Homo-oligomer: A and B are copies of this chain.
Amino acid sequence: MTDIYRAIADPIRRKILHMVARAECTQSDIVAAFSISQPAIKKHLAILQEEQLLLERKQGKYCYYRLNTPVYQHEFSQLQRELGLVLEKKLAGLKHFLEEEQ
């Protein structure tokens, strides 16, 4: 079940997400954009796919990747909510502290 935290843990995977959001890319487009080997890129793509953030379309010898936008959008807003709550809790604590101080 989509662990976006795992997906985004690596900076190369984050850059891949940017690439495939901007436009559909072939695997070799992606390989060309980095200075690591094709199998290494493949593994990153596999992780992004395991986490459902990537869709692929196979055409001839090419494999096109694009963002799975609905999933990304959903997972991103969940993440924002989860991490945003941390700050809200902090604020609530400060508020409480100030109100006790009257």
Contacts and interface: CB of A to CB of B under 8 A. Distances in A.
Interface of A: 5-6, 8-11, 14, 17-18, 21-23, 67, 69, 72-73, 76, 79-80, 82-87, 89-90, 92-93
30 contacts: A5-B8, A5-B9, A5-B10, A5-B11, A5-B14, A8-B83, A9-B9, A14-B82, A14-B83, A17-B86, A18-B85, A18-B86, A21-B86, A21-B87, A21-B89, A21-B90, A21-B93, A22-B90, A22-B92, A22-B93, A67-B86, A69-B87, A69-B90, A72-B86, A72-B87, A73-B87, A76-B84, A76-B87, A79-B83, A80-B80
A28 B92 CA distance: 23
A34 B102 CA distance: 36
Tell me the number of copies of this protein: 2
